[in-house]
Amino acid sequence: MLAAMPPTPPPSPEPGEAPTRDRGDACPGALRLHAAADGLLARLRLPAGRLTSRQVMVLADAAESLGDGSLSVTSRGNAELRGLRDGCGAGLAALLADAGLLPSPTHERVRNIVASPAAGLDGLGHADVQLWARALDAALCAEPRAAALSGRFLFALDDGRGDVAGLGGDVTLIAAPDGAAFLTAGTETFRLPGAGAGGAGHAAAAGSAAGTAGTAVRAALACALAFLDAAEAAGTGAWRPRELPGAHLPDWARALARAAITAEPVPSFAPPPAALPPAPGPLGDHALHVLAPLGRLTAGQLRALGAGADEVRLTPWRGVVVAGPAPDLLPALAAHGLVTGPADPRTGVTACTGTPGCAKSLADVRADAARAPGGPLPVHYSGCARRCGHPHGTRIEVTALGPDTYLLDGVPVPRTALAEAVAAARTTPMES
């Protein structure tokens, strides 16, 4: 039986085994363009994946006029413009700033916030963490020291349904059913009590929610700054808390106390069970969810998504939540080539950049992934062993060994037999 790859555990350096880095992270940004094999690449941080309808249209125009005509959705719900022409950086920056996508040039690469994409739309979850994400983004951009965070430091805000709590956040906030929140930093978890519960009725509930959000945001920022202090003291150039030597781990409780936040340690915290991404289709009465085929949205698809939407939210599973439209928009989006229903065989199929965008790719993985047969289990195609952009959680791994051979869950498979092998793997129950 073919066994799926287990979820990739985060690196957990033991004391004395922490990496020492002699440079900052090389993550691209909106202002720091990366020279890829298919041209320049810009990565746009979109806290909680959120874009207004106008911003969607601006990105569609930018993709067409400056890039290769499409937008890539990353595994953090950010966006990438690829194939950008040399010399377009200043024009792109002006365009993004005008659209409100560059609120702080000094902080543009540290706005790494994932949040439950359906929060506030489908009646599930315990709090609208999309609002928390906006408040956290504003707090981050207003704190000059936060600009020193690496482009890899991640905040994960889960509304309690368990969809983003397992995405490897460096600071994770999870809404609790009683109006409180849990914060996990490093390996420690704290309960942050709900706030502002005085009075009665709707106004009091709204005040309590706002109070919890404010406390959660202040706590997350305090922990991020505590990490920066610890990283500076360690002198190892750590990008994330898990890279710190054991002797230099932050005193998270002290950092929270210093920020005047009441936080109760939770020694044996059980996070919510990991939730699967929502199936493509309607999402509550006033939203829908579609998937971008292999994580790419053409300019035409972007315009179809943005037309008439209140907002769209790019998701960590390379989908798009569209808030505002009637569900009967789905046929039109299907006609644009988007994945609009769970029966579409493209559901659950992801791929790295591959050729021609990545010079390391050993095969045309995106062409082969586009021919992937359907099945219940997710499958990720990679052009080399780095397996960039793989999803979290249980999945089938297909990795190129050369132009005509793949490794499927550890077994070499000729390209001519790949589709059949993937079909079998996607329908074979997991080994536990």
CB of 48 to ligand SF4, least distance (A): 25
Spatial distance between the Cα atoms of 176 and 309, rounded to a whole number of angstroms:
30
CB of 389 to ligand SF4, least distance (A): 7
Q: Which two tokens stand for residue 276?
A: 């699967």
Using the minimum distance from each CB to ligand SF4, give the nearer residue, 360 or 392: 360
CB of 388 to ligand SF4, least distance (A): 3
8-state DSSP, 271: P
Q: Do you know the residue count of the chain?
A: 432
Spatial distance between the Cα atoms of 314 and 216, rounded to a whole number of angstroms:
23
| 138, 170, 185, 192, 267 from 255: Cα distances, Å | 20, 15, 11, 14, 17
Q: Which two tokens stand for residue 211?
A: 């109070």
CB of 196 to ligand SF4, least distance (A): 46
Q: Which residue lies nearest ligand SF4, judged by its C-beta?
A: 383
Site residues (vs ligand SF4, CB under 6 A): 352-354, 358, 360-361, 382-384, 386-388
CB of 375 to ligand SF4, least distance (A): 22
CB of 152 to ligand SF4, least distance (A): 15
Using the minimum distance from each CB to ligand SF4, give the nearer residue, 168 or 194: 168
Using the minimum distance from each CB to ligand SF4, give the nearer residue, 354 or 375: 354
Using the minimum distance from each CB to ligand SF4, give the nearer residue, 103 or 356: 356
Using the minimum distance from each CB to ligand SF4, give the nearer residue, 81 or 263: 81
Strand partners, 311: 52, 323
Spatial distance between the Cα atoms of 396 and 244, rounded to a whole number of angstroms:
31
Using the minimum distance from each CB to ligand SF4, give the nearer residue, 221 or 352: 352
Angle at 44 between CA 42 and CA 45, to 5 degrees: 145
CB of 353 to ligand SF4, least distance (A): 4
Using the minimum distance from each CB to ligand SF4, give the nearer residue, 236 or 353: 353
Q: Which two tokens stand for residue 147?
A: 């600009």
CB of 116 to ligand SF4, least distance (A): 27
How far is C-alpha 240 from the geometric centre of its chain's CA atoms?
Answer: 16
Q: Which residue type, as a one-letter code, is found at position 42?
A: A
Concatenating the DSSP letter of every residue in 191-248 gives EE------S-HHHHHHHHHHHHHHHHHHHHHHHHHHHHHHHHHHTS--SSGGGS-GGG
Q: Which residue has the tokens 């706005």?
A: 111
- List, in order, residues 6 or more apart from 231 with CB less than 8 Å away: 237, 238, 244, 248
Using the minimum distance from each CB to ligand SF4, give the nearer residue, 244 or 362: 362
Using the minimum distance from each CB to ligand SF4, give the nearer residue, 79 or 216: 79
Strand partners, 50: 313
Spatial distance between the Cα atoms of 35 and 87, rounded to a whole number of angstroms:
12
CB of 408 to ligand SF4, least distance (A): 15
